[in-house]
């Protein structure tokens, strides 16, 4: 990861969803490479703890922003809180959700609308806001964390998978538009990873997954491949290759992914 430097992607990086799991791992790795880090998530206490840790360990500057990215106007609060910073990298990792195991009609529509704001509306506007500065000066990067749920629709992942497909396509399109302007864009497709939300869901259903990716490995792969987008699928034999279900019909892909959600969450009602 020698290409992850303060000169190329700094001095400041923003990590949305930084309080735990993959986001915390991204924050540590960026600080290790000398970037100052804005830590964004809903819960302030873990952000403060992480900020203290990486300041002490790596000697970088930090800024903590306790912000619910699913509420209206969240993007404006984010932009205002970073207006005085020279942001060279945006890592949008927010999106882990404890409603990832329910059927579409079992949750009030307002909950799905909040997910849509957090997973689609805010990252799109953030990419536009920070990306415009990056393109203007000819350097920087945007990393959007997507999910294996983006490859095909699946029962009990309807809004979540749809929002992650949005992130996947948004990142790929921005890579195509900005690659000649010195700005790197990567859609990072994350699969089952050992994060607190997945652990909570499995505990609630009494299920297990044979293999969970390590959050630090996921973050390392994302940063390692930031400059060779548009897409990297964590854990696949060829992360930059075709969709893992590209050889299936759309119907078979949907049935396969729906069977996978049953294995992870139980058959449900």
* Residues classed as catalytic: 160
Our measurement of the distance from residue 159's CA atom to the centroid of its chain's CA atoms, rounded to an integer in Å, reads 16
What gap in Å lies between CA 267 and CA 264, rounded to an integer? 9
C-alpha distances (whole Å) from 74 to each of 118, 134, 169 are 9, 21, 22
What gap in Å lies between CA 174 and CA 162, rounded to an integer? 18
What gap in Å lies between CA 140 and CA 73, rounded to an integer? 25
What gap in Å lies between CA 151 and CA 62, rounded to an integer? 35
Let me know: does 138 contact 163? Beta carbons within 8 Å. Answer: no
Diameter over CA atoms, the chain:
53
What gap in Å lies between CA 257 and CA 205, rounded to an integer? 18
SS (H, E, C) 197-255: HHHHHHHHHCCCCCCCECHHHHHHHHHHCHHHCCEEECCCCCCCCCCCCCCCCHHHHHH
What gap in Å lies between CA 246 and CA 119, rounded to an integer? 24
């Amino acid at each position: 990861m020698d290409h992850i430097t303060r000169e190329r992607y700094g001095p400041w990086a923003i990590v949305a969803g930084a309080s735990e799991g993959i986001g915390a791992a991204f924050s540590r790795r960026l600080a290790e490479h000398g970037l100052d880090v804005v830590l964004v998530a809903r819960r302030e206490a873990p952000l403060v703890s992480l900020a203290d840790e990486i300041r002490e360990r790596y000697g970088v500057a930090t800024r903590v922003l306790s912000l619910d990215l699913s509420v209206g106007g969240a993007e404006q609060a984010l932009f205002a809180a970073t207006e005085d910073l020279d942001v060279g990298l945006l890592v949008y990792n927010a999106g882990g959700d404890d409603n990832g195991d329910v059927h579409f009609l079992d949750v009030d529509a307002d909950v799905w609308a909040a997910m849509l704001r957090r997973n689609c509306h805010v990252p799109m506007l953030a990419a536009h806001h920070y990306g415009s500065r990056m393109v203007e000066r000819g350097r920087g990067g945007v990393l959007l964390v997507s999910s294996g749920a983006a490859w095909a629709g699946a029962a009990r992942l309807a809004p979540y998978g749809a929002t992650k497909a949005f992130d996947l396509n948004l990142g790929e399109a921005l890579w195509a538009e900005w690659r000649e302007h010195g700005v790197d864009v990567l859609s990072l497709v994350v699969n089952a990873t050992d994060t607190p939300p997945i652990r909570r869901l499995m505990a609630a259903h009494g299920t297990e997954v044979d293999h969970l990716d390590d959050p630090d490995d996921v973050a390392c792969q994302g940063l390692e491949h930031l400059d060779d987008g548009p897409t990297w699928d964590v854990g696949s034999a060829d992360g930059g290759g075709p969709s893992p279900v590209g050889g299936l019909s759309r119907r078979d892909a949907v049935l396969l992914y729906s069977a996978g959600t049953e294995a992870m969450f139980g058959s449900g009602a």
